[in-house]
Amino acid sequence: MRSFAASAQQRERERHEQVLLLARLLPFDQQDAFTFLDLGAGTGAASRVLLAEYPRASAILAEYSPQMTAEGHRQMAPFAGRYRYVEMDMLASDWPAEVPPQLDAVVSALSIHHLPDARKQAIFGEIFGRLRPGAWYVNYDPIRAPDAVVEAVWERVNDRYDPEAPYERAHRTPQEQARYENHVRYMIPLAPQLEWLRQAGFIQVEVFWKRLDWVIYGGCRPGLTVSPSPSGRGPG
């Protein structure tokens, strides 16, 4: 787990700019008090960025793996009292009772692409139902190209940024190949995901950032602009 955590920290540094953009897309001033849900939170990489950006915010981290949660508690120590983990299987439609019925925001990073298509579509509806009127859901995730021609372009350009990538693709260990296949197993193009957000009821559905096979997109539940929690209470 520690070796995974070390490589995860490297990836976290590489993706910091995108996760910070995700944080800043939420409609809050930096001193606002609000509670957000981080779906498929893992060790809390996205939550740490949001909690640093909004020092009065509180996080609920939804994660299924006890190993991830244990490592997350270690890495989240600087934010003690401002977060809590809840056990949640994103493949199941029954959300844990610890998740409030209305949330000020929902975010996800590198988790939705692991879900089968039907579950992706369903969870967008479930997220919509948990948001306060005017609240936002924002997702940062990899996507699959819409066709082989575009996929070849993406691969060629990515290889210019990472010249070692072609060799690494051709020399994966069985463990690395299994990890890669799990990574791409349910990955799909962007267009249907945006359409599923609209079908769930989201408005202002937008692609806020895109770089080849990486994207930040989201939408808003109709209603008045979300108001921060007045008390600044933590997640309990």
For 105-157, the pLDDT digits (tens) are 999 999 999 999 999 999 999 999 999 999 999 999 999 999 999 999 999 99
Q: Quote the mean pLDDT of the chain.
A: 93
Q: How far is CA 134 from the centre of its chain?
A: 20
In eight-state DSSP terms, residue 114 is G
Q: pLDDT over 90 for what percent of the chain?
A: 86
pLDDT of residue 230: 47
Report DSSP letters for 37-83, one per residue: EEET-TTTHHHHHHHHHSTT-EEEEEE--HHHHHHHHHHTGGGTTSE
Averaged pLDDT for residues 181-203: 96
Q: Is the pTM of this model over 0.75?
A: yes
Averaged pLDDT for residues 184-191: 96
Picking from 41, 111, 47, the residue whose alpha carbon sits closest to that of residue 70 is 41
Kindly list the structural domains of the chain, giving each domain's residue range(s) and its CATH number in brackets, ordered by start.
Answer: 2-144+187-220 (3.40.50.150), 147-186 (no CATH)
Q: Give the type of residue at 64.
A: Y
State yes or no: pLDDT of 205 exceeds 60. Answer: yes
Averaged pLDDT for residues 7-25: 87
Averaged pLDDT for residues 157-175: 96
Q: Give the type of residue at 94.
A: D
Q: pLDDT over 70 for what percent of the chain?
A: 92
CA dist 176 → 9, 40, 56, 182, 184 (Å): 18, 22, 40, 10, 12
Pairwise CA distance, residues 88 & 42, whole Å: 11
Higher pLDDT, 180 or 81: 81
Picking from 34, 215, 7, 11, the residue whose alpha carbon sits closest to that of residue 108 is 215
Averaged pLDDT for residues 152-178: 96
